Amino acid sequence: MLNFQFYNPARIIFGRGEEENVGKYIADYGVKKVLLHYGKNSIKKTGLYDRIVKSLEENNIEFIELGGVCPNPVLSLVRKGIEICVNENVDFILAVGGGSVIDSAKAISVGAKTDEDIWEFFMDKKKVIYETVPIGTVLTIAATGSESSTSTVITNEENLFKRSISSSKYIPKFSILNPELTFTLPAYQTACGCSDILSHLFERYFTQIENVDFTDRLLEAAMKTIIINASAAIEKPKDYNVRAEIMWVGTLAHNGLLNTGRIGDWASHHIEHELSALYNLTHGAGLSIVTPAWMKYVYKENPDKFIQLAHRVFDIDFAYNEKEKTIVSMIEKLESWYKSLGLPTRLCEVGIDDSRFSEMAEKCLVARGLTGNFKKLNKDDICNIYKLAL
C-alpha cells in the first residue's frame, strides 16, 4: 500500500425532497449572488427548476442564470460563465444537473478567480489552483461522481481536445442527491451513467500496487451493487431504492476513497475521451466499447487480478486449470451485461470505422507520453485496442 492523503469535505445531503431546501443550505455560506448553472430544458420540464428558484427566493438569494450546458461540456460556455461571475460579483455557483453541468461549474469556479486563461490549467497539470468560487450541486444523473470529486473534464471545441484537471479546491461545499430526480431519466442515459460508474471502479481496481486488499473488496462491493441495480433500474425506473443505490455508488466510486493507497489505470477513460470528443458519443457508451477491448489487450499483465474479479464479482467459480477461460468468460459476461442495458460493445454499432484511429491515439498521448498504469500504452497499443473494439 502506498502513502496517501484522503480529504473530502463535501457535505452529502441525500434523500427525498432535499432539493427544496437548497436555498437554506446556500444561505449558510453568507452568499450574496449565485450563478444558477444548468443544462438544456429538462429541469424546466420536470419542475425542478421551479422548485430551485422558489427555494432561492424564499431565502432571499439573488441569482443570475446560465443554462445550455451540453453533454461533453465545452470551453466556450465555461468562458461565458467566468465572464458573468467576474462582471456580476458572483460568490457562489449552484450547478443543477449531471456531471457535465457540475464539471462546467468547476471550471468556471477556477477561471473566475484567476487572471490566467482557464484552458491553460487543462493543458498544464502543474499549474496550481489557489482559489475558487464555492460550488453547490443538485444532482440529476448518477454517473460521473463529479458531485464530490476533485475532477472536471472539459472539451475545447476549437481543437476537439477533451481534458481533465484535478483539485480539492472546487469540491462542492454540498451536493444534494435525491434519487427521485433520476426517475425520469431515459433508459439509455441510465445505462450510460451506470457504465461510467462501473468504469470508475474498474479504473481503480486495475492497479499494479500490491497489498490493497481492503480497497479491492470495497470496490468489489460497489461493482456488485452497480451491476445488480443498473439492470433493475432499466426494468423499474421509478424504484426509489434501486435509484438510491446507484446514486450512492456513483458518488463513492469517484470521491477519492476507493483510490486510497493505490494508483489507478485510467487508460480506458483516456482512450474513450478521444472517441467522445471526436464523435460526440456519450461517455458511458464509449466506455462499454473500450473497456472489454482494453481488458482483452492487457489481462496478461496480471491474470490473477482478473481471476479475482471474475470470482468475486461475476460469480465465476475459481478453477486452477482454466484461468484463461475464466477471464474470457468474465469479459463475455461483462459484454452481455452492457448489451442487456442497451449499450454498444463495438465501434461499428455506433458507426465508427478505423479511419481516425491513428489521429485519436496521437491526441490521447499529447502531454502524457504514455497512458495507463496497469499496462503503459503507446500509440500502437491504443490503435490495437481501437481495432479490438471494431
Residues that bind a second copy (CB under 8 A): 1-16, 18, 210-211, 213-214, 217-218, 220-222, 224-225, 228, 240-241, 244-245, 248-249, 252, 257, 260-261
Q: Whole-number minimum distance, CB 246 to a second copy, in Å? A: 9
| Dist. CA 26–CA 40, nearest whole Å | 23
**How far is it, in rounded angstroms, from Cα 156 to Cα 162?**
6
CB of residue 62 to a second copy, shortest distance in Å: 26
Coil, strand, or helix at residue 333?
helix
Q: Please, what's the largest Cα pairwise distance for the chain?
A: 68
CB of 171 to a second copy, least distance (A): 10
Smallest distance from a second copy to CB 101, Å: 22
The residue behind cell 460556455 is: 77
For 206, 324, 328, 338, 376, the CA distances from 292, given in Å and listed in that order, are 13, 15, 10, 10, 17
Angle at 255 between CA 250 and CA 256, to 5 degrees: 130
Q: Based on CB atoms, which residue is closest to a second copy, 2 or 367? A: 2
How far, in Å, CA of 300 to CA of 326, rounded?
13
| Nearest distance from C-beta of residue 202 to a second copy, angstroms | 17
Nearer to a second copy, 245 or 335 (CB): 245
User: By C-beta, is 211 or 280 nearer to a second copy?
Assistant: 211
In the complex, the smallest distance separating the C-beta of residue 264 from a second copy, rounded to whole angstroms, is 17
φ/ψ bin of 244: left (φ > 0), alpha (ψ from -120 to 50), beta (otherwise): alpha
Torsion over CA: 14, 221, 296, 383 (sign): positive
Choose between 169 and 224: whose C-beta lies nearer to a second copy: 224
CB of 225 to a second copy, least distance (A): 4
* Eight-class DSSP state of 37: E
Dig out the grid coordinates for 369 from the structure: 507520453
Cell of 310: 471474475
Q: Which residue has the cell 422548485?
A: 51
Determine how β-strand 151-156 pairs with β-strand 62-66. unpaired
85 vs 177, which CB is nearer to a second copy? Answer: 177
Residue type, 176: I
Residue among 217 and 339 whose Cβ is closer to a second copy:
217
**Separation CA 386–CA 294 (nearest Å):** 9
Burial environment of residue 153 by CB neighbours within 10 A (0 to 12, 13 to 18, 19 or more): buried
The nearest distance, CB 21 to a second copy, in angstroms, is 11
What is the distance in angstroms between the CA of the first residue and the CA of the last residue of the chain? Answer: 37
Please give the distance of CA 319 from its chain centroid, rounded to a whole number.
35
Q: What crossing angle do the helices spanning 379-388 and 267-279 adopt, rounded to 10°?
A: 70
Q: How far is the CB of 50 from a second copy (least distance, A)?
A: 22
Q: Which is nearer to a second copy, 219 or 277 (CB)?
A: 219
Cell numbers for 52, please give them: 430551485
**Residue 7 or 130 having the CB closest to a second copy:** 7
CB of 96 to a second copy, least distance (A): 19
Q: Tell me whether residue 219 or residue 385 sits nearer to a second copy (CB atom).
A: 219
Alpha-carbon span 8 to 172, nearest angstrom: 9
**In the complex with a second copy, which residue's Cβ is closer, 4 or 325?**
4
